[in-house]
Structure 1
Amino acid sequence: MKGKLSDKKILMFVDDLYEDLELWYPKLRMIEEGADVIIAGKEKGKIYSGKHTYPCKANASFDELNDKDFNALIIPGGFAPDKLRREENVLKLTKNIFNSGKLVAHICHAGWIPISAGIIKGFRCTSTPGIKDDLINAGAIWVDEPVVADRNMISSRRPDDLPDFCRAIIDYLIK
């Protein structure tokens, strides 16, 4: 059976201390809709551990990927984004996907990556209150809402908002 996203390829980043639900819930929802979801870490094949110790195996290294192969990027939160934002290829993939008009979605602390990629200025977005000041200082217009869609960026605050976050991503990708 074909899903709504059967022609879509979605990239997600992983590193240790990712927020377990913010990676697994969107990954499984996108797969359920037929998307091909690629989980990329620094090392292909490495098993990363979430904040709540749930394992996730990277099926690609972000160093070997081409942004042109993806329809969207979904960035999970947790503390992994603070490490990932220091990786040149993570920032390059994020910026190139965004600049090509494709979707960049981030939740909770994942807003750190769009900040470091230099793509957040002038966008309405949300996040965990813990990085509100970081987003504002980078030029974002921060609002406290479950999900915010502005052009080709979708953001959300926390695990409780995942149903709204995933619905917004799916709706965007089927347009």
Structure 2
Amino acid sequence: MKRVGILLADLFDEREFLYPYYRVQEAGYTPVVIGPEAREYRAKSGFSWRAEVSAREAPELAGLLIPGGFAPDYLRRSPEVLALVRRVAEEGRPLGAICHAGWVLISAGLVRGRRVTGFSSIRDDLENAGGLYQETGVVVDGNLVTAQGPKDLPGFVLAFLELLAKG
């Protein structure tokens, strides 16, 4: 299984989508862009990308990445997206969330007792959900990789790819 899902919704951070998208390809995996619906989504900058499949139709995945921006606030409203995120977590597959993507982890019920990080404005949300917030760029806790923002993309994606390589 060589497919890695990347979630999209409107107002995603294009840096946090594109950098992992191409790094996943360079590592020999096939990125599968997944949205609440299979349609085109617009980034914060106006850039757009099409989700190939809906969360309900997502294939079996080796891992899943969640970019930030404002998109996580839309993603967390989709029961199908939350079910997919939970499925990946329950299967022990690598799950990556950067910047505001911690909101999706919170809504999926995956933060309690886990070491996590995220953008500073969601620190209270992560802590109130029972997360053990770490004031550092990238945090790995089991199969979960979280990062604070775009400046942390190299370490975030590297940690995610290392988890994928462990299988």
Runs of 5+ consecutive residues of structure 1 not aligned to the other structure: 1-6
Q: Distance in 1 between matches of 2:56 and 2:90?
A: 19
Verify: 1:90 aligned to 2:81, yes or no: yes
Equivalent runs, 1:44-123 vs 2, <5 Å: 44=38, 46-66=39-59, 69-123=60-114
Q: How far 1:119 sits from its partner (Å)?
A: 1.0
Residue of 168, 171, 174 corresponding to 2:159: 168
Q: Distance in 2 between matches of 1:40 and 1:131?
A: 24
1:80 counterpart letter in structure 2: A
**Which residue of 2 is the match for residue 43 of structure 1?**
37
CA deviations on 1:26-62 (whole Å, 9 max, x unpaired) are: 0110011110111011332x22110111111111111
Local SS of the residue matching 1:174: helix
Deviates more, 1:56-65 or 1:72-81: 56-65
Q: With the length of structure 2 as denominator, give the TM-score of the two structures.
A: 0.96
Q: How far 1:145 sits from its partner (Å)?
A: 0.9
Runs of 5+ consecutive residues of structure 2 not aligned to the other structure: none
Identity over aligned residues, as a percent?
A: 39
Q: Distance in 1 between matches of 2:24 and 2:88?
A: 18
Residue of 131, 139, 146 corresponding to 1:140: 131
Q: How far 1:159 sits from its partner (Å)?
A: 0.4
Q: How far 1:172 sits from its partner (Å)?
A: 1.1
1:87 counterpart letter in structure 2: S
Q: Distance in 2 between matches of 1:42 and 1:170?
A: 25
Q: Distance in 2 between matches of 1:158 and 1:53?
A: 19
Deviating above 6 A after TM superposition, structure 1's stretches of 4 or more consecutive aligned residues are: none
Aligned CA-pair RMSD: 1.0
Q: With the length of structure 1 as denominator, give the TM-score of the two structures.
A: 0.92
